[in-house]
């Protein structure tokens, strides 16, 4: 098993299958930077499903047990269920993060292919606010339909991720909890992060978990629950009447680098050991099937063993101008 310089294992791999998206959320792909002239990766540089499967297989001897498929918007990739099936056949847990807009028509196929869990990003139920945040004409109703069909397909758990930004969608926090209470869907609130270099992050726009919790506590009777594992990123709370669970991902106010067992693979084959890296290790040429898979395992192990990342623990409240990779490229 591989351990990095802080003794952290490599358990969780996030695979970005595309850097493209049909939304333009301001905190991730602001249209002024990701407009018509933005150069996305050309198709000939995007890894095939076979190359992705090979990379994942090479990580298994190092301790990998979970893969999350993400992007950009992963459901834009043709026949994504085939990749799900290929990963599932390796005996790993397979999860998906999606904006939900294309989920309704694919959830049955994904479930049958072996998808274990899905997280849908939804920052507002209010139709006008949702289209403002996503800068898209796709109605919020499509996302809700996607969430409902994920539940009826049998995916479990289905989670909803909401990034809370000051002055934008604090008013949506309670309605989201109200809407999904009693449905089995777990809503999680995420602090706005300074990921990438285009989203004009400032500390003032971060709504700390403590504040969200205080807002919710005035309406709901919530009690804290144990984390499922010490490497879980979310703190868990539950309604006292048993009507559901809520999560908080406090990446800014309570960083969790000490338990970070996550690596990321970009859609063009670069391995990143931290969400805030500016340097990926280009392994695309090593996914050619011309050498034994053990050689690739050894290369990944070498990279992981040299890892000492803990950006969030060292973050300064002031925005900095260090170049950082975009989340839509590296995978959220
Ligand atoms: N398109 C898919 C989606 O939106 O779920 C998958 C990729 S997206 C980059 C993954 C997650 O990253 C989403 O839940 C999104 O809300 C989150 N995200 C993007 N930029 C963020 C930021 N600056 N701070 C916190 N979360 C962010
Ligand atoms: Fe697209 Fe997801 Fe980024 Fe929004 S958060 S722009 S849906 S990749
Ligand atoms: Fe992991 Fe880097 Fe995030 Fe810390 S800042 S939790 S090391 S991805």
In a domain, 212, yes or no: yes
Per-residue pLDDT of the chain (332 residues; tens, 9 = 90+): 899 999 999 999 999 999 999 999 999 999 999 999 999 999 999 999 999 999 999 999 999 999 999 999 999 999 999 999 999 999 999 999 999 999 999 999 999 999 999 999 999 999 999 999 999 999 999 999 999 999 999 999 999 999 999 999 999 999 999 999 999 999 999 999 988 888 888 889 999 999 999 999 999 999 999 988 888 889 999 999 999 999 999 999 998 899 999 999 999 999 999 998 888 999 999 998 889 999 999 999 999 999 999 888 887 776 666 677 888 888 77
Confidence at residue 314, expressed as pLDDT on a 0 to 100 scale:
83
In a domain, 200, yes or no: yes
Separation of alpha carbons 194 and 197, rounded Å: 8
Contact 201, 193 (CB under 8 A): yes
Confidence at residue 321, expressed as pLDDT on a 0 to 100 scale:
67
In a domain, 178, yes or no: yes
Please give the structure tokens belonging to residue 60. Answer: 């298994």
In a domain, 19, yes or no: yes
Please give the structure tokens belonging to residue 330. Answer: 């590296």
Confidence at residue 75, expressed as pLDDT on a 0 to 100 scale:
98
Name the residue with tokens 């999606």: 98
Pick the atom of ligand 1 nearest to 16's CA: 7
- Residue 327 Cα to ligand 1 midpoint, Å, equals 7
pTM of the model: 0.96
In a domain, 56, yes or no: yes
The pick from 231, 255, 276, 307 for probing ligand 3's pocket by mutation, whose C-beta has the most ligand atoms within 8 angstroms, reads 276
Domain limits at 321? Answer: 12-330
In a domain, 2, yes or no: no
User: Domain total for the chain?
Assistant: 1
Q: Is the CB of 18 under 6 A from ligand 1?
A: no
In a domain, 5, yes or no: no
Nearest residue (by CA) to ligand 3, atom 4, is 257
- The CATH number assigned to the domain holding 138 equals 3.20.20.70
Q: Is the CB of 257 under 6 A from ligand 3?
A: yes
Peptide bond into 261 cis (omega under 30): no
């Amino acid at each position: 098993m591989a351990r990095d310089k802080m003794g952290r294992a490599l358990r969780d791999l996030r695979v970005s299958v595309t850097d493209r998206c049909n939304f333009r959320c301001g905190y991730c792909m602001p249209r002024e930077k990701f407009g018509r002239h933005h150069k996305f990766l050309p198709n000939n540089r995007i890894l095939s499903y076979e190359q992705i499967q090979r990379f994942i297989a090479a990580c298994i001897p190092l301790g990998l047990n979970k893969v999350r498929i993400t992007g950009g918007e992963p459901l834009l990739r043709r026949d994504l269920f085939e990749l799900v099936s290929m990963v599932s056949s390796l005996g790993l847990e397979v999860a998906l993060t999606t904006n939900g807009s294309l989920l309704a028509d694919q959830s049955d196929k994904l479930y049958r292919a072996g998808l274990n869990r899905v997280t849908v990003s939804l920052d507002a139920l209010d139709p006008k606010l949702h289209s403002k945040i996503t800068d898209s004409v796709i109605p919020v109703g499509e996302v809700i339909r996607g969430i409902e069909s994920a539940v009826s397909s049998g995916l479990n758990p289905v989670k909803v991720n909401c990034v809370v930004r000051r002055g934008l969608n604090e008013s949506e926090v309670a309605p989201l909890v109200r809407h999904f209470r009693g449905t089995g869907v777990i809503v999680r609130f995420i602090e706005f992060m300074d990921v990438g270099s285009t989203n004009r992050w400032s500390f003032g726009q971060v709504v700390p978990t403590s504040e969200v919790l205080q807002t919710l506590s005035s309406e709901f009777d919530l009690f804290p629950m144990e984390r499922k594992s010490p490497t879980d990123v979310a703190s868990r709370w539950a309604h006292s009447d048993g009507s559901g669970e809520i999560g908080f991902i406090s990446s800014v106010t309570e960083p969790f680098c000490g338990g970070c067992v996550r690596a990321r693979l970009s859609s063009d084959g670069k391995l990143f050991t931290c969400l805030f890296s500016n340097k990926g290790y280009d392994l695309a040429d090593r996914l050619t099937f011309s050498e034994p898979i053990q050689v690739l395992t050894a290369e990944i192990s070498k990279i992981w063993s040299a890892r000492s990342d803990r950006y969030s623990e060292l973050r300064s409240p002031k925005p900095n101008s260090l170049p950082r990779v975009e989340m839509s490229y590296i995978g959220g």
